[in-house]
A and B are shown apart, each in its own frame.
Chain A
Amino acid sequence: MIQRIWRLGRRGCELLEALGRSGQFLLQSAVGVPSREGWYLWLRQMHFVGVLSLAIVLVSGLFIGMVMALQGYTILVDFGAEQALGQMVALSLLRELAPVVAALLFAGRAGSALTAEIGLMKATEQLTSMEMIGVDPLRRVVAPRLWAGFVALPLLTIGFSVVGIYGGYLVGVEWLGVFEGSYWGNMQASVDFVGDVGNGMVKSLVFALVVTWIAVFQGYDLIPTSEGISRATTRTVVYSSLAVLGLDFVLTALMFGEFS
């Protein structure tokens, strides 16, 4: 019994220690004066995490928008309310689906790659040798990746929403014959720029920070063996997915809940 309590305590301490370490890590890598060199490094990472994730995010967005229009239509048509299709597609995309699904895809596509890349650099002593050359790897390797993720995910989320709404339009208007004017009109009447688009963006920024943070920290903190890298990559996807879904609930409650 005592043993169990002792083990629980040790677990708790380890957890707190890891949290502290990762917080310190975030602070150390996020601050720093961006130089021209840093700008270029950031650009490279934007390409790596942003542009290369674009295809998967846009294709998923298109399909999700199309599926939602199809599902929504079959429900709404029973109430004779199929004009509200645009409103339904746009609101669910902007408020929930775009930030969350884009963040999950981002964690799988870019987050795991970030972890593996930094982990590999650690395993091959590249980070250590950088330190020995007198360059702080937090600034040089981690910071550009962190900032690139922070900027890229909100942009990807916007793309997801736009393509999803267009996908809904294709299915709803072009295929199922909802009147085009009511698709856009109802959408415009119900979507509030600050309340819906803005809050979706805030969600996306929070997710971007959390997912990239988890990804780079897992890469930086892993045990430098091939097994360690594969484990850390899995952990990145699992932790960031859980964090995104959990935080989504908290943020939704704060933004759209009764006590907002």
Chain B
Amino acid sequence: MQTYYSDLLVIGAGLAGERVAVDSAEKGFNVTCLSIVPARRSHSSAAQGGMQAALGNSAKGEGDCPDIHFGDTVKGSDWGCDQEVARLFADASPIEMRRLAHWGVPWNRVVPGQSFYFKGGQKFEKYEKPENEGLITARAFGGTAKWRTCYTSDGTGHAVMCTMDNRCAQLGINVLDRKEAIALLHDGETCMGAIVRCLRTGQLEAFISKATAICTGGFGRIYKATTNAVICDGGGHIIAMDTGLVPIGNPEAIQFHPTGIVPTDILVTEGCRGDGGTLLDVNEERFMNIYEPEKAELASRDVVSRWMTHHMREGKGVKSAYGEHLWLDIRHLGDKHISTKLREVDEICHHFLGVDPRTELIPVRPTQHYTMAGIRTNKDGAVYGLKGLFSAGEVACWDMHGFNRLGGNSLAETVVAGGIIGAKIVEFLEGYETKIKTDIVTQEYKKQEQRIQDLISGRNGSENVYDVRNDMQEALMKGCFVFRNGPDLEETVETLQKVLDRAGHIGLKSDGLGVNHELAAALKIKGQVKLALMIAKGALDRTESRGSHNRVDFPERNDAEWLTRTLAYWKEDATLPDLQYEDASPVFEIPPGERGYGGGTIIPADEQFVKERMIKKDK
């Protein structure tokens, strides 16, 4: 057995993972990052739009401050977030953007003087102050009071990922690609690393560590229609959940992005609407301004996706061979803007649609995009249930997003949370010693070896992994998409339980040798179906509508009963998740109230409950 040792093992080398790694490496700890792809191919690099930080440098961001950013984030979350965490995030974000500038990110900067921008298809004028020339500028995103999203063209994730990976190279961090963690090493109390499958040779290896951080991104690929890269398949969630000790927070909180292109579900950035693009229906007429007079196309994603779905159900969708869709219109932004600020969008339209967005409309519809759901951690990023295990980024439920995250807040979260949690891991590691139980390492290694042998030999059955996966994906699309209701969710749970049974009887069709993809898929299918069941059961039991979770049969946001976070555990040999609940936020800076968009009624929380938790601020 090939065995590696490090002080900190980071599973996943996207933005969150590498940012977590940097702090420990700077302090002289030995750090290893594992990634299933070369780090720069991580899905962080696909994020186009930008990162929210209340720098307030641009004219339309004037007067911005972390308090306003905090408020937008809490409203965006539909009061589902942990307000302590949202506060930590909003305060640290501007500093982190400056740190990234210092490390090398080519942020777009303030250009002084007169310029034009579009909103709702109309042209407006703005003046950038000469004294702010050259500071980091920002663009508009949905659900925000100010222009706050820092960006590098529409390749922000890519640009920041390059810089972060450069920083890791500079610090000599071992970033190993083509390594997939398939099980955590733990004794029921403490995590001591992971068993890893090498995606060069197919061999198993043991990575032993004092501290382990899971930073593997979201799990959108368990849906059929998703903007996510094929690597966003829940691998990190599964190894945590498989311990039986670690809960998935708010599994029912899944975001659907308004502008996935049809048919490939590739994302075109929210920046299109932020920069003034509009949504049109079959008659090429705007509709968001009717549903949301105030925010229009720039309401939060859950709200826009909901109205788009509603509008298509009213018969206003465009019919196509790939089902109904609506149009995104950025024609009026003009050639220069599209060629410089929306380049990726331009390329995607060209390569995947054969459309020129300067003269033609872009076919779009809501598509799975983001998992607010994730491995539940405390505000230090320490995972519930296992000592020495941390988590950051989309994979985690830290939880600043609650039931809907704002555009530009997730990419910012990767580096801001990465920085905060990275520092907490340093505190944890300083002076910390542990005993590595080699019997546990050997047992787990053998167990995983056996699992692989069983899949190859077909000992458990001959189900085709791709068929099983497809049935899981279809079930989620049917029951757990933008709108949900009791009877459909009950059916989905039943369907998924049958799929789970089949997932236990997979047998490979191929030989499973080397970097075999069928084996990789088979190793995680059971865990994926369990995640799917957590979504469905969590959604079934949550009898209210909050953020992205819309129950047609329970349209009110019910703060009296559901101002809570779901904690979903999977106990060994169970056929359904065990759902527990905790308060959504230990404290309130902003008491539960109206978002100002999205409509709907609220069943208020108990006044005394809210009062007891209000933070008293010194004025």
Q: Do they bind each other?
A: no
Residues of A in contact with B (beta carbons under 8 Å apart) = none
Residues of B in contact with A (beta carbons under 8 Å apart) = none
